[in-house]
Amino acid sequence: MALQAIFGIAALVAVSSAAALPVIQLAEVPTPNTFPEVVGPIPAFEVTEFKAQALVLSDRNYINFYVTPYRGAEPAHCFSLGTTLSHSLNSVPQTWCSHAANDSSDTSDRVWFSWTMGDDVDPTAAGAGGTTGTDPVDSVNETTGAYLKIVRQGGGQTRDEAIHHFDARYLVYEGEGDMVHQVFTGPQNFTMRALRVDARGES
């Protein structure tokens, strides 16, 4: 009997405590933004000395270039060395660039790049229209050629983005027999249209 009384008192206290808690109105909680908001255009990124190729008689490939994200900035050195079993260029995930001449990673301008081969693009990933719709700068929807994306992480919740698609005609195989390897033959120096985006609430 005493045990039942104790349980009854505990239940009464729990109900009273719950009633005293503030009521949360779920309707007032904003849903997160699916995509970051484009703040506006900014000066184009300047890319120089761009090279990408698979090495002859090797299982390695590389991408190497410099990017100046804004006028007066120290060029960031971007480099990636990958492994290939087909003497071809491979996609490169997010890779940080460096600013100092000694390739130190200490820098206030955090810049990274990615390289995506068209073969790795799923044009149906986000529905109809053949576009993934995952990037505010440009839709990634071509399943040929390759995409170069460069991002400068700004302060707070903003970042600067640029993405460019290179036609498949710039990705050629050179050499014969064991010497065959894929090489990027496009321009070494070019600009990339850039936008500033606000990622607050980005899911």
List, in sequence order, the alpha helices (H) in the chain. 2-20
Task: Please report whether residue 18 resides in a domain.
Answer: no
* Separation CA 38–CA 186 (nearest Å): 29
Task: Please report whether residue 101 resides in a domain.
Answer: yes
For 66-99, write each residue's pLDDT tens digit.
999 988 888 999 999 999 888 999 999 999 998 7
Task: Please report whether residue 24 resides in a domain.
Answer: no
Give the residue-averaged pLDDT of 169-188: 94
Q: What confidence score (pLDDT) does residue 7 get?
A: 39
* Separation CA 14–CA 7 (nearest Å): 11
Q: Compute the radius of gyration of the chain from its Cα atoms.
A: 25
Whole-number mean pLDDT of the chain?
75
Task: Count other Cβ atoms within 10 Å, centred on residue 74.
Answer: 13
* Separation CA 142–CA 165 (nearest Å): 8
Domain extent at residue 100 = 37-122+144-198
Task: Please report whether residue 17 resides in a domain.
Answer: no
Q: Is the per-residue pLDDT at 27 higher than 90?
A: no
Task: Please report whether residue 43 resides in a domain.
Answer: yes
Give the closest residue to 117 by CA, choosing from 89, 137, 138: 89
Q: Is the per-residue pLDDT at 155 higher than 60?
A: yes
Domains held by the chain: number: 1
Task: Please report whether residue 44 resides in a domain.
Answer: yes
Q: What is the CATH number of the domain that holds 62?
A: 2.40.350.20
For 91-145, write each residue's pLDDT tens digit.
999 999 987 554 444 444 689 999 999 888 876 654 333 334 444 445 567 788 9
Task: Please report whether residue 134 resides in a domain.
Answer: no
Q: What is the pTM of this model?
A: 0.71
Q: What confidence score (pLDDT) does residue 104 get?
A: 46
Contact 184/52 with Cβ under 8 angstroms?
yes
Task: Please report whether residue 138 resides in a domain.
Answer: no
